[in-house]
Chains A and B, each alone.
Chain A
Amino acid sequence: MVITRRVPFVLSGALVAAAIAGCIVAWGASARAGDAPPPPEHAGLLHVRPSSVAFDRAGEAAQVTIANGGAGPLAVTAVRVASVGEPDFTTGPVPRRTLGPGESLAVTVVYRPRAGGPRQSFAALEIEHADGPGASTGPRVDIIALRGGEGRFLLTLLVFSPLFGLPFLLLWPRGRERWLRWLALAATLVPLGAAARMLATFDPAFPRAAGNFGYQMVQHVVWIRAFNVEYHVGVDGLSVGLTALTALIATVAAIGSWSIPLARNLRGYLSLLLVLETGMLGVFVSLDLFLFYVFWEMVLVPMFFLIGLWGGPRREYAAIKFFLYTLLGSVLILLAIIALYYASRSTILVDGTPAAHTLDIPKLVHLNDFDEHPALLGFKFANLVWVLLFVGFAIKVPLVPLHTWLPDAHVEAPTAVSVVLAGILLKMGTYGMLRLNWAILPSATVWASPVVAGLGALAVIYGGLCALASVDLKRLVAYSSIGHLGFCLIGMAALTPIAVNGAIFQMLSHGVVSALLFLLVGVIYDRTGERGLDAFGGVATVMPRYTAVFALGFFASLGLPGLSGFIGEVMTLLGSLGRFRTATVVAAFGLVLAAAYNLWAIRRIHFGVLPERWRAVLAGRDLDGREWASLLPLVLLALAMGLYPAPVLELSAVSVSDLLALFGLPITGLGGGL
């Protein structure tokens, strides 16, 4: 403390404090102030209470009081409810009335959602008024936001609850640091619980026709009015599975981070993990493009630090390569988002303010058609924007040939970070493609689908070949990720219900399986410090349980029936055989490659003779409780999804059919020709 205690410094401090207080007061006053007061001859002044109304249950009624706070007459000419689509709120008949000074008028608003089910409603109550007879400025309209429906805050709680753990983590006293891990685990269990509740409340049969454009648990408020940006979150069949998966993988990663030593700034590591979780959860539930982009980019900085500070020998190179490469993709997405914004039609924000353009994803999908937009720089607008978005997302997936950041990032990252990277971050790319490219620009998707399918097939083969050539186990798993997501791409490009549902299932399955695989690699790396496939052999003789789980994980990766990988792969291949015969056949050959590298990995590590130098570190050190805690949920999930995939497939079925309805293609189950 070096501020000397003298009167003038205290005075200066008081001035600064007064300045800050003045700023806050000025902000509050300006937020509350309306326009300049009307000219004196028409001095009616509208006061409306409350400024927004929220309902929880259908049939609830609320009273809105319109009072005249001025010295002259105030004429209320109309009171009406405005919303996108049919409003779920009704008002009783309101006669045109002129209020004298001090008089007030009560309007009753009733919440009547038309369809049952998890539907949230948003509308605006417009009060048209004039300040007096013959007012020269014409009638003015004041707006009150109306919101109804339960479950509105669940997704906000889900997304931001990891951040609640941050102050605890950062301010935890120094001596008791072994509790930090439990604290972080608790912070990841809260969103897991919220995700469980979300799955329980989610209605798989809620179609778009039932309202809210087909999204559930929606929360929708205005955020930055100047840019027409809103805070709009909701889930539908495409995102609910991924959101739940994210919450689960984050918890598993927190358990997998147990081995990070205290001395290596555990506090910072866990804080960054929590911020990362918020970013990932936010991406999947965002329904506004600005919000989507903020969460999308929010993921980059924690990953940069996590890889660069706690990673392997070449961590700095891997971290900066990851950062710059994915940032390049992100800025292309930003350009495309802004282009879409300015090409969109005018609409109203959720509280009724008119907006010249919109960033709202449901409105862009359903109320805008970009096919007839004038050409941009000589290219068809929809196609150009589609390509920009696709390249941005393809870097994240990653698609060959934009994949070179992935092996380095995975190999150098610590185990838990690899789990998160493979389990969730890669899915953000394919999800982004579905949510933005497929839904907003369907004609461009059809135009590009052959190339997408070709790239998917290329990814399967190339990923398989590189995995076959790998000598590092982690690099092998990284390349297998590239291969798995190739199946996703083929399924998405085929645009048949089986294929797209299969692609979504493959995303979920890949999340579970790749997380499992990286945790398994971490087990042996923690014990021996070695990951080379040729350095081992005969591990089954000393760690049989590990071998069992390892084998199960790698069988799931190769697509063995009975495990989740099979369902995803077979559905995507069946669904795309009709439309893209060549790509499907090529990808099917990729299955042989997958079998080859997976089985060979199992054999090289677990069978044969154990090198003597490992006997001391491996014997008697089979999987311990913590490792079981992180592996078992994933194993059980892989088995459950493989043996009984129906519940998971049901989650996405209705949303996929709504999505495919945008394309106008014939909806046949297996894609014709079969």
Chain B
Amino acid sequence: MTGGPLSNAASWRPLIPELILAVGTIVVLAVGLGRRAASRGWLLALALATLLGAVAATPLTMEPSIPVGQEAPGAVRGLALFGGLLARDGFADFFKLLFGAAGAVVVLSSFASREGRGDEPGERALGGVLAPAASIASPTAGPPSSGEPRRGDRDAAEYAALLLSVVLGADLMAAATDLLTAYLALEFVSLLSYVLAAFGRRSRRSAEAGLKYAIYGGVATGAMLYGFSWLYGLAGTTELAGVRAALASAPPLVSGTILALCLAGLGFKMAVVPFHSWCPDVYEGAPTPVAAFFSVVPKAAGFALAFRFLVGSPEATLSVAGADAGAALVTGQGPATVVASVLAVIAMVSMTLGNLAAIPQRKLKRLLAYSSIAQAGNLAMALAVGSPAAERALLVYLGIYLFMNLAAFLAVTALVRAGEGDTLDDLAGLGGRAPLLSLGLTLAVLSLAGLPPLGGFVAKFAMFSATIERGAAGGGPIFYALAAAGVANTVVSVYYYARVAKVIYFDRPRAGAPARLPVPLSHAALVGITAAGVVALGIYAPPLTALAEKSALLWPGP
């Protein structure tokens, strides 16, 4: 790092975005605990101010980085904070922007509308934040006695605080360069996610989702912690760079066991096979805006951490000639290491299983959950390839994935808020009943399939290009197999994505369905904005690709 690790005192200034998030969380909690009822509007404004402030603070507090093309071998871009526990570099900043944007969109979606019949179809409106605070159907509601905060709004403050905290934790996950901070940040995100998943108070499915998430996550992160303890014993240090070097030079049985344990925790967060079984139940049970949040923020944070852990290193300039390939877990050139092969297999299996399992799904949220597993497989291709091009592809893919996945989930949210159910049959004939919402959902789903001229194609092109480049640069047949699996899965995935579009436009509406769907304007606007982002990035991707190039951890090399 330029100038060596910073001391504790000097490390606070680069952490201003995280500090803003922390302060905002505390303020939101305090506002919610007060005696006077805090209206949802003020909570929304506070949460938005915090998130957007953190996002704005990121470029403003960034240290000037060495321009691309002028690095001297061995020098790195960025700062090491707190003596090497956290990093402040372009890679972490990219994810800060991503998480802040995702958090802002989800907060807007959760708070924006007072109308609507609640979140779970067919169930009585919940007393939680995701239903109108004064809902007629809820037995505990009624005219609030003066001075007593309404139950719904107190939950709203907790909800907002939880969301902000998860964003904070995710920021720390993306910046972690030490085993301890990695574990702390990961558990921070996980524990709060368990609570968020169970946030639908009256819904049994939500409670089940939270419980399943907690149990599965507990075991997975526990296994990871055990692996970390072995790593510490092996390496004598908890710094990622030293740990990686020790792991690369350990006997195969030892390193294999440790990696399997660590991948349990990382894979759980990324939702790749074989650590994916929590995903469909949690996404289906959690309230829909929360599921939208889960599909982007913890997953992307998991990928960021996994990339730092497995591939990216401040010291190992993986693509400059003379780098010692033996010291790296995943190399960017030369034949594939064992770790890279295992990651490639994980990626292929995730894609395939996610796509095949999504085909028979009738419930939208489960379908989107399996689609997220398949997309995680696509993203994991970048981990297996490990080259600078793959890293850029990962960043571009995550940026576009944010838009298209949020658009899809927000469309489901809007659908449920408008009084419909969340199964595929409820989408029947939506094209005539809610034209703009249908268009948004169709664009999101076709972009997830990877069809031009939408953003999903640019993302897939970047990913497949990086994979084939690695294969062509002497990587061996595993990378060609990976690319072939990727394209084959694209075709398979189109089957169920196009089926969503087909049901929306081709099928007749159910008997008795209203002719026009009263979609709240706020939800329609959010779907519209995210869908417009998908189209815009497909037609003109350079802003995102330029940002990804600037943020990259690995250098293109000579």
Residues of A within 8 A of B (CB): 1-4, 6-9, 11-12, 15-16, 18-19, 22, 26-27, 30-31, 35-36, 137, 223-227, 265, 268, 290, 293-295, 297-298, 300-301, 304-305, 308-309, 316, 319-320, 323-324, 327-328, 331-332, 334-335, 338-339, 341-343, 376-377
Q: Do A2 and B113 touch across chains, with their CB atoms under 8 A apart? A: yes
Asked if B70 contacts A227 (CB within 8 A), the reply is: no
Query: In the complex, are the beta carbons of B468 and A18 less than 8 A apart?
Result: no
**Is residue B506 within 8 Å, beta carbon to beta carbon, of the partner chain?**
yes
Residue of B487, B543, B549 near A335 (CB, 8 A) is B487
**Candidates B59, B392, B487; contact of A334 at CB < 8 Å:** B487
Cβ of B108: which chain A residues have Cβ within 8 Å of it? 12, 16
The reply to whether B451 and A297 contact each other, CB–CB distance below 8 Å, is yes
Given contacts A7-B41, A226-B548, contact A2 B115 (CB under 8 A): yes
| Chain B positions within 8 Å of A30 at CB level | 543, 546-547
In the bound complex, residues from chain B placing their C-beta under 8 Å from that of A295 are: 452
A-B pairs, 8 with minimum CB distance: A8-B41, A226-B545, A331-B487, A35-B67, A294-B452, A11-B45, A2-B115, A8-B45
Q: Which residues of chain B are within 8 angstroms of A304 by Cβ–Cβ distance?
A: 498
**Is there a chain A Cβ closer than 8 Å to B521's Cβ?**
yes
The reply to whether A341 and B521 form a contact with Cβ atoms under 8 Å apart is no
**B462 CB-CB contact with A under 8 Å:** yes
Residues in B whose Cβ lies below 8 Å from that of A290? 461
Contact (Cβ within 8 A) B469 A342: yes
Q: Is the CB of A324 within 8 A of B506?
A: no
Closest Cβ neighbor of A331 among chain B residues: B487
- Return the CB mask of B54-83 against A: 1 if under 8 Å, else 0: 011001000011110010000000000000
Q: Is B337 an interface residue (CB 8 A)?
A: no
Q: A301–B446 contact, CB under 8 A?
A: yes
CA distance A36 to B66 in the complex (A): 8
* 27 A-B interface contacts by CB (under 8 A): A1-B521, A2-B520, A2-B521, A6-B41, A8-B42, A15-B45, A16-B48, A16-B104, A19-B104, A27-B543, A30-B547, A36-B67, A224-B542, A224-B545, A293-B452, A294-B453, A297-B451, A297-B457, A309-B505, A316-B502, A324-B494, A327-B494, A331-B487, A331-B488, A335-B483, A335-B487, A376-B480
Interface residues of B in 464-517 (CB under 8 A from A): 464-465, 468-469, 472-473, 477, 480, 483-484, 487-488, 490-491, 494-495, 498-499, 501-502, 505-506
Instruction: Please report which residues of chain B, range 435-453, place their CB below 8 angstroms from some CB of chain A when the two chains form the complex.
Output: 446, 451-453
> Smallest distance from the beta carbon of B93 to chain A beta carbons, Å?
12
The verdict on A225 contacting B542 (CB below 8 Å), with A2-B114, A297-B452 known, is yes
Chain B nearest CB from A436 CB (Å) reads 17
**Contact between chains at B457 and A294 (CB < 8 Å):** yes
Write the nearest CB–CB distance from B272 to chain A, whole angstroms.
Answer: 22
Residue from B41, B112, B432, B488 having most chain A Cβ neighbours under 10 A: B41
Q: In the complex, A373→B67 CA distance in Å?
A: 35
Q: Is the interface of B mostly helix, strand, loop or mixed?
A: helix
CA distance A16 to B108 in the complex (A): 9
Known contacts A304-B498, A338-B465: A343-B472 contact under CB 8 Å:
yes
When C-beta atoms are compared, the residue in chain B nearest to A294 turns out to be B452
B468 touches A331 (CB 8 A): no
CA distance A353 to B115 in the complex (A): 54
Contact of B462 with A3 in the complex, beta carbons under 8 Å = no
Q: Which of B484, B490, B494, B499 has the most CB of A within 10 A?
A: B494
Partner among B44, B64, B549 whose Cβ is within 8 Å of the Cβ of A36? B64
Interchain CB contact under 8 A, A339 and B48: no
Nearest-Cβ distance from residue B46 to partner chain A, whole angstroms:
9
Interface range on chain B (Cβ under 8 Å from partner): 35 or more
Q: How far is the CA of A18 from the CA of B55 in the complex (A)?
A: 12
Distance (whole angstroms) from the CB of B355 to the closest CB of chain A: 13
Given the complex of chains A and B, what is the CA–CA distance between A295 and B488 in angstroms?
20
Chain A min CB distance to B39 (Å): 6
In the bound complex, do residue B468 and residue A377 qualify as a contact, i.e. CB atoms below 8 Å apart?
Answer: no
Q: Which residue of A lies closest to B64 (CB)?
A: A36
Query: Nearest-CB distance from A275 to chain B (Å)?
Result: 10
Q: Which of B94-138 contact A (CB under 8 A)?
A: 104, 108, 112-115
Q: Which of B66, B465, B473, B547 has the most CB of A within 10 A?
A: B465
A31 partner residues in chain B, CB cutoff 8 A:
543, 546
Which B26-65 residues have a C-beta within 8 angstroms of A?
39, 41-42, 44-45, 48-49, 52, 55-56, 59, 64-65
Identity of the chain B residue whose Cβ is nearest the Cβ of A137 in the assembled complex: B70
What is the CA–CA distance of A239 and B457 in the complex, to the nearest angstrom?
A: 26
Give the complex CA separation of A6 and B44 in angstroms.
Answer: 12
Contact of A298 among B452, B473, B545 (CB under 8 A): B452
Q: Are B522 and A2 in contact (CB under 8 A)?
A: yes
Query: In the complex, A565→B177 CA distance in Å?
Result: 70
Known: A30-B546, A227-B461. A15 touches B522 (CB 8 A): no
Check if A331 sits within 8 Å of B491, measured CB to CB.
Answer: yes
**Smallest beta-carbon distance A174→chain B, Å:** 12
- A226, B549: Cβ atoms closer than 8 Å: yes
Out of A1, A12, A332, A335, name the residue touching B41 (CB < 8 Å).
A12
Chain A residues in 8 Å Cβ range of B45: 8-9, 11-12, 15
Point out which of A227, A308, A328, A377 has the most chain B C-beta atoms below 10 A from its C-beta.
A227
Instruction: From the candidates B115, B480, B487, B499, name the one contacting A332 in the complex (CB within 8 A).
Output: B487
Contacting pair B468 A15 (CB below 8 A): no
* Residue of chain B at shortest CB distance from A19: B52
B480 contact set on A, CB distance < 8 A: 376-377
For B41, the closest partner residue in chain A by CB is A8
Q: Which residue from chain A places its CB closest to the CB of B549 in the assembled complex? A: A226
CB-based nearest A residue for B67: A35
Q: Out of B48, B70, B458, B494, which one reaches A12, CB within 8 Å?
A: B48
User: Contact: B55 with A19, CB < 8 Å?
Assistant: yes
Q: Smallest CB-CB separation from A320: which chain B residue?
A: B498
Distance A376 CA – B479 CA, assembled complex (angstroms): 12
Q: How far is the CA of A377 from the CA of B468 in the complex (A)?
A: 12
Give the residues from 331 to 388 in chain B that come closer than 8 angstroms, CB to CB, to chain A.
Answer: none
Question: Which chain B residues (520-554) contact chain A, with CB distance < 8 Å?
Answer: 520-522, 541-543, 545-549
User: What residues on A are CB-neighbors of B66 within 8 Å?
Assistant: 36
Q: How far is the CB of B554 from chain A (nearest CB, A)?
A: 14
Which residue of A224, A225, A265, A297 has the most chain B CB atoms within 10 A of its CB atom? A224
